[in-house]
Amino acid sequence: MATKTWQKQSDDIPVCQRSLFYWILRKHRGIQLLLLVIILTSLFFRVFPLEMQRRIINEAIHLRDEQLLFLYCGLYIGAVLLAGITKYLINVIQTVLGQKILMEMRTELYHHILQLPLQFYRKMQPGTVISAMTAELNSIGFFLGGALAIPVTSILSFLVFVGFMFTLSPLLTLLSISIYPLELIVIPLLQKRYNRLNKKRIKTTRAMANVVNEAISGIHEIHANAAYDLEEKRMAGFIDRLYSLLKRLLFVKYGIKFANNLFQSVGPFILFLIGGYLAINGQFTLGALVAFLSAYEKVYDPWKEMLEYYQALQDAQVRYKQIMQIFDVEIEHLILPGGRGIIELQGAIELKNVGFTVESGVKLLSNITMQIRPNEQVALVGFSGSGKSTLALLMAQLYKLSSGSLQLDGYDINTMSKADISRNITMIAQHPFIFTGTIRDNLLYSVRAAADGEQEVPARRRIMMTIRDVGLEEDILRFGLNSVIPYERVAPLKRKFLRMRHIIIHELHEDYTKSVEIYDARKFLHYSTLRDNLIFGDSLRGRYTVESMADDHDIMELLTSTGLENELVRLGLAIARVTIELLGEFGDDEFFFRGNPMESGEFERYNSLVQELGDEAPQKKQDRTMFLKLALRFIPGRHNIVTMDPALESAITEARETFLNDIVKVDLETCCHGIEDFQMEQNLLDLPRFEQERDFIAYCPSEYLYSHTLLDNLLFGALKEELRENQHLIENAMDAFRRERLVDEIIDVGLDFNVGSQGDRLSGGQKQKVAIARAFLKQGRILIMDEATASLDNTSQGKIQQVVDKKFRGKKTIIAVIHRLDLTPSYDRIFVLKAGSIIEQGSYDELMAQKGAFYELAKST
Amino acid sequence: MNSQNQPDTDTGAHLKEISSFLRHFSVFQETPVEVLKLYAYLSQKVEYSAGETIIQQGRPSDRMYLIMQGKVSICEERNEQHFFLQDLTETELNCFGELALLAKFDWFFSARAITDVTLLSISREAFIKIHERFPEQYPLAVERIVKLRVARFVNQIDYLLDHLPKEAWKECKILTDDTTDTT
Ligand SMILES: Nc1ncnc2c1ncn2[C@@H]1O[C@H](COP(=O)(O)OP(=O)(O)O)[C@@H](O)[C@H]1O
Ligand SMILES: [Mg+2]
């Protein structure tokens, strides 16, 4: 199990104090050995061709022996091939190894980072952490794989080639490598400079990441204040600095390269001069000279590799240290209790002279002494800034006390593990955090976090009850109604949804007909688009959208043969003309396009098209398509821009019948009948058999319309007037659904609502309710609420207070930081804080009678 | 279907029709054509059947209504009772809720359909958007609305005073009389 390994590792060196090579040497020794073996083999295949070169010239060519030439050439090419293959293997193994080590490094570092105390994150900016965990680690990963193999290979090849050269000519060898030591002096000097710049670059990049991170998090403020210039200026400084740093880094880097190249070309110069002289004088064979030159070239490769390795090592060391340095903070509490089971608390809390001082020396709490009995409900009140939140965080082990003692059921809180705390204590923070994902994910977060299944996933009934308790039902219902439910999700619920539709259409008939124009296959629909009137359904694969209809062969044939194409283009043209005449000067304001099939973004295109046409009718296919689109989007009952010829209505309904009968083969008779037979369950059961193969879903009463929202499906028609309140209808419908126990299905769907990044798609109140529900779902004897209901309206606050008072009474110890004092009477005891100390305590009545600070506070609100 | 003649037969006819309908209302009598057309374009037709509530006292206001057809009663709710104030038809005093164009408030009266009615509604948002485009028209529009409001007020007060029992009357004493009495 994962947790076991973590425990074992906590015995060895702390993550942040390990050296870079610790990671490399710790594991994967087998692979590294294999790598070494392959490298040695490859070395042989790299030297071997050199020897062949010498023999080809000195023996085969010299003796004019063709047989020998073929043999040597064959061996030569074979060796070259094998050298290539081994090189490929080395690269692959190196990269895989590097990434493996990187993976371990990242996992363990993240494990460490997550546990760092809250105080650490007060100072640490998120951008730094993100930059360190992602890009900075990546660049180390590349180095890791070759960290051992490369130097070994390089040194060995260097020695082998030098040795080979030495056998050919000791003198030449000594001369040609005599320049190398020079490099050993110059290059480290340059490298030192490089390292310094590199450190600065890392710091600048992190600062830049922080600026970006903050800008994105605060994008609301930036837009609201139009603070674009200000933010850009903040960023510009970093961009400039990074540019100048990178420039200087590159100067140094290419300086090193330049030095390298220079030294490299001096070698052959010496060789040609002296080697040539020796060869002319017959002291050296031509073959040997060629081999020597090749060898010299080869010997330079490992040398260069060593230099590069040196640079990479320096670079990686710098980065690595920069990363580990920032996270080198001690973790305050173990995750699991060592050597005992998780403690089950009764809920007694005892504080003795507790003090809390922050690093800067400011004392936030001093001498707090309080005894809270199991199941007692206490309130913490006081001015803002008096330390209430700090005290709550101390009790939840989120802060570590500086002095005094805090005991839970007699256990010292400092000795308890995170598992002990999370099993027993639930905390609702003042500013709760909502994770990206669905509402369901967020509600079950605490429960799922208890990894070993110590807390079972709550039953559906409990989730529903909690949602009602915290007043989230309305919100989640709305999310459910407005969601387009995926096909697979609909299948098991379809019958129930259709039952709901039936209730709305038949049982709430009067309200319904007032606000909704039902989808009736035989009638023209005034409040639906002409497209819906024609197609009267949707394709699951997305055929027959307004955009694609003009390219659809079947549709165009139908429209042309009925003469509708012409009529629709004319209608579209009329819409475009009137719109342009009317809105000519304000084509940029989206407001004026709300009652128009044209969108403000399209205005310019239609404008130029209409100008171009003058009085002519459009002829070009693409122009006609444009106007056809407008007509297809036209809703006669809602778009005031033109009126439609009534004759067109019947032409459209006729075309609809042809389309349904002949093109998509929907039996209109059955479709319409559905309305009456709807209630008979058998009819519904019949459908799924051929459901699989169908692509087209017509607006038939027995069909679920997959591309529409749930609400659209329940209403099964278009709303007649947007401004008429359909709230009434929906409320009545919900009451009816409740009676038949159908509401939970909608809530279930609503729970899958995606809350967006950090709950962006929820209101402040909704976020808080989700956080409260999350805490209520978690079991545990102690519940700490830090102004948990502060951003809710009074009714909701009162409702939640009631749940706490009634449902949790005798079951949980409650510590509630409360701002609204009228919510405090139901608490057993109230503690009043001021400037980090408790100045009063007692029941509501006692404190009021005492006429002290609490009395004053209560009076002033 | 009027096929194949000029392609631009109906161009604008519909908006002209609504515009000329709007022209009958005192509020729009001096409004230039191009502005009136925008009103026509942005107005929305609503239908209510007899007995339905069109405006509910206490709800936030956001639009005014013009009666195209039918009869509407204006009532005042007090202590859960409705007190009749005024009947409106398409001919006289043929609109209501005009103050909603100028300000946001909660309706201080209710409006009910007496017969089946067809209304045209204009939202405050549309009113504001139109005058962003034609700021010079704004003072005139405000004046028109205020005059309409005064006419309505006079009408309602007349009705109330006519129906107030004599005993409930309280004479308005003139201040100067008062002072002379006491001295
Ligand atoms: N980490 C910290 N470093 C410095 N000051 C802090 C820190 N945390 C909180 N404070 C300060 O401590 C005081 C108490 O904060 P807090 O407990 O949040 O008050 P309350 O919840 O009563 O409004 C405040 O003045 C706040 O500025
Ligand atoms: Mg606080």
* Torsion A292-A294-A296-A299 (CA) sign: negative
Residue B1 — pLDDT band, cuts 50, 70, 90?
Answer: very low
State the distance from the centre of ligand 2 to the C-alpha of A213, rounded, in angstroms: 25
Mean pLDDT of A775-796: 89
Domain-embedded: residue B122: yes
Amino acid sitting at position B76 = E
- Summarize pLDDT for A553-602 with one digit per residue, the tens: 999 999 999 999 999 999 999 999 999 988 887 777 888 898 899 998 89
Strand, coil or helix: A786: strand
Neighbours of A406 (CB within 10 A): 21
Instruction: Determine the structural domain holding residue B78 and report its residue range.
Output: 3-160
CB contacts < 8 A, A to B, total 82
Q: How many domains does chain B have?
A: 1
Measured in degrees and rounded to the nearest 5, phi and psi for residue A842 equal 155, 180
Task: List the A377-382 sheet strands across, edge first.
Answer: A425-428, A782-786, A813-817, A377-382, A829-834, A837-842
* B179 assigned to some structural domain: no
pLDDT exceeds cutoff 70 at A36: yes
Once rounded to an integer, what is the mean pLDDT over residues B80-103?
A: 88
User: Considering the domain boundaries, does residue A532 fall inside one?
Assistant: no
pLDDT tens readout for residues A45-96: 888 888 888 888 888 888 888 888 899 899 999 999 998 999 899 889 988 8
CA pair distance A383, A818, nearest whole angstrom: 10
Structure tokens, A317 = 């060391």
In a domain, A4, yes or no: no
Residue A2 lies in a domain: no
Nearest-Cα distance to chain A for B42, in Å, is 7
Dihedral sign, Cα of residue A834, residue A838, residue A843, residue A846: negative
Please list, in sequence order, all residues whose beta carbon lies within 8 angstroms of the beta carbon of residue A97, skipping any fewer than 6 positions away: A28, A31, A32, A35, A144, A145
Verify that A743 and A767 share a domain, yes or no.
Answer: no
User: End of a domain among A607, A640, A658?
Assistant: A658
Is residue B106 in some structural domain? yes
Q: Residue A364 C-alpha to ligand 1 middle, in angstroms?
A: 7
Same domain, A161 and A291: yes
In a domain, B136, yes or no: yes
**Average pLDDT value for chain A:** 87
A591 contact B CB<8A? yes
Bridge partner residues of A517 (DSSP): A718
User: A679-701, pLDDT tens digit by residue?
Assistant: 444 444 444 444 556 788 899 88
Phi first, then psi: what are they for A550, rounded to 5°?
-65, -20
**Long-range pairs of A852-857 with CB within 8 A, sequence gap ≥ 24:** A854/A381, A854/A821, A854/A830, A857/A381, A857/A382, A857/A383, A857/A821, A857/A832
Taking the C-alpha atoms of residue B44 and residue A638, their distance in angstroms, rounded to an integer, is 8
The CATH number linked to B140 is: 2.60.120.10
Residue A332 lies in a domain: no
Q: Are residues A259 and A372 in the same domain?
A: no
Tens digits of per-residue pLDDT, A240-286? 999 999 999 999 888 888 887 887 777 778 778 888 888 888 877 87
- Amino acid residing at A804: V
Of A751, A777, A810, which one is at a domain's C-terminal end?
A751
CATH code of residue A166 = 1.20.1560.10
Residue A772 lies in a domain: yes
Pocket test for ligand 1, best of A121, A122, A364, A819 (most atoms within 8 A of CB): A364
The answer as to whether A106 is a domain residue is yes
| A584 near B CB under 8 A | no
Tokens 């020794």 belong to which residue?
A29
A761 neighbors A755 (Cβ within 8 angstroms): yes
CB A269 within 8 A of CB A210: no
Q: B62 to chain A: nearest residue by CA?
A: A723
Based on its alpha-carbon atoms, the radius of gyration of chain A, rounded to whole angstroms, reads: 39
Count how many residues are written for chain B. Answer: 183
Contact A578 B125 (CB under 8 A): no
Backbone angles phi, psi at A514, to 5 degrees: -65, -40
In a domain, A356, yes or no: yes
Give yes or no for residue A365 CB within 6 A of ligand 1.
Answer: no
Contact assignment for B1 to A577 by CB distance below 8 Å: no
Is residue A116 within 8 A of residue A418, CB to CB? The reply is no
Residue B178 lies in a domain: no
pLDDT digits 0-9 by tens, A383-394: 889 999 999 999
Q: What is the pLDDT of residues A802-833, one digit of tens each?
A: 999 999 999 999 999 998 888 899 999 999 99
- The beta strands (E) that lie in A336-423 are given as 349-357, 363-372, 377-382, 403-408, 411-412
Whole-structure pTM value: 0.77
Q: In this structure, is residue B175 part of a structural domain?
A: no
A526 touching B, CB under 8 A?
A: no
Closest ligand by atom to A787 CA: 2
* Helix, strand, or coil (residue A719): strand
Whether the Cβ atoms of residue A213 and residue A127 lie closer than 8 Å to each other = yes
pLDDT-based confidence at residue B45 (cuts at 50, 70, 90): confident
**CB count in 10 Å sphere of residue A387:** 25
The answer to whether residue B171 sits within a structural domain is: no
Q: Which of A751, A770, A805 is at the close of a domain? A: A751
How far the first Cα of chain A sits from its last, in Å, is: 54
Segment (H or E) for A633: helix A621-633
Residue A830 lies in a domain: yes
Mean local confidence (pLDDT), B92-103: 89
Claim to verify: residue A200 and residue A282 sit in the same structural domain: yes
What's A761's DSSP letter?
Answer: T
H/E segment holding residue A830: strand A829-834
Same domain for A271 and A163: yes
Which CATH number characterizes residue A843's domain?
A: 3.40.50.300
Max mean pLDDT range (A130-134, A368-372, A635-639) = A368-372
A45 and A105 together in one domain: yes
A571 within 8 A of A727, measured Cβ to Cβ: no
Q: Is residue B180 part of a domain?
A: no
What pairs with residue B44 in β-bridges?
Answer: B121
Q: How is residue A409 written in tokens?
A: 């059921």
Is residue A82 domain-shared with residue A216, that is, in the same domain? yes
What is the number of domains present in chain A? 4
| ipTM for the complex shown | 0.83
Chain centroid to Cα A757, Å, comes to 8
Q: Which atom of ligand 1 is nearest to the CA of A836?
A: 14
What is the residue range of A505's domain?
484-519+664-751
In a shared domain, residues A675 and A776: no
